[in-house]
């Protein structure tokens, strides 16, 4: 419940991005927005942190919302 909701068009580096990776619409994954339409996230246990575009087909579909917590 912490933070302020941020629209996708107003994302700033450091904002938290929430996604539904199982298609349920419930938040199942979190990432950190780093600017220029990219985020960093840990895909799953045993994988390295990745830099990915929030506009690729997978993450665009999974996007639920974002918050700014400062």
Give the count of beta carbons closer than 10 Å to the beta carbon of residue 52: 15
What span, in angstroms and rounded, lies between the C-alpha atoms of 64 and 19? 5
Query: What's the mean per-residue pLDDT of the chain?
Result: 96
User: H-type helices in 1-70, by residue range?
Assistant: 57-62
DSSP string, 29-47: EEEEEEETTEEEE--STTS
pTM of the entire structure? 0.92
Residues of the chain with pLDDT under 70: none
């Amino acid at each position: 419940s912490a933070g302020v909701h941020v629209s996708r068009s107003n994302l700033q580096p450091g904002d938290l991005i929430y996604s539904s990776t199982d298609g349920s619409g419930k938040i199942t994954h979190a990432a950190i927005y780093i600017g220029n339409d990219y985020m960093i996230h840990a895909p799953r246990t045993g994988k390295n942190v990745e830099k990915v575009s929030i506009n690729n087909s997978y993450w665009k579909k999974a996007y639920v919302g974002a918050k700014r917590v400062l």
